[in-house]
Amino acid sequence: MITGVVKIDNDFIQGVTIFESDQQGTPLKRNNKYTTTLSNDKGQYSINVTKDQNFYLTFKFVGTKQQTINTLNIPAIVNLISDNILTEFEITAKKTYKWLWLLLLIPIIYKLSKNKK
C-alpha cells in the first residue's frame, strides 16, 4: 500500500487520478482490472500497489503535466507541475434576421385567413 499527498503550487488537490502504469504512463491491467484511485479534498491518496523497481504510478490532473514515478521513489508529497498552456480562442456571434420575414408574414396570413371566411 502506498499513501501520500498531492499538491499543486503548495495547495492540496482533490480529484487527481493516480494509477498503476508502465514507465511511459500507460495504465496497466492486472487480473483484468486497473489499479486506480483519486486524491481526496486534502490531497491524500492510498493505492494498493507493490513497491518494486518494475512498478510505476502515474499522476494526472487537468492543467498539469502527467508525472510517472517508480514506486520505489514515490515521495510523501507529489508536487504536480502546472502546464500553463491555455489555448487562446475567440468566440464570435453573427446577427441574422432570417426570422424577421416570418414576423412580416403574420399579418398577411391573418388577413388571408379572414378573407376566406
Nearest to 19 by CA among 53, 45, 52: 45
- To the nearest whole number, what is the mean pLDDT of the chain? 87
How many other CB atoms are found less than 10 A from the CB of residue 18? Answer: 25
The answer to whether the CB of 3 falls within 8 A of the CB of 45 is yes
CA dist 34 and 75 (Å) reads 22
pTM over 0.75: no
**Pairing, β 36-38 against β 44-47:** unpaired
Looking at 32-41, 59-68, 81-90, which range is the least confident one? 81-90
Residue 71 φ then ψ, to 5°: -65, -20
User: Which carries the bigger pLDDT value, residue 32 or residue 93?
Assistant: 32
How do residues 9-41 score in pLDDT, each as one tens digit?
A: 889 999 999 999 999 999 999 889 999 999 999
CA dist 50 and 114 (Å) reads 84
Is pLDDT of 46 > 90?
Answer: yes
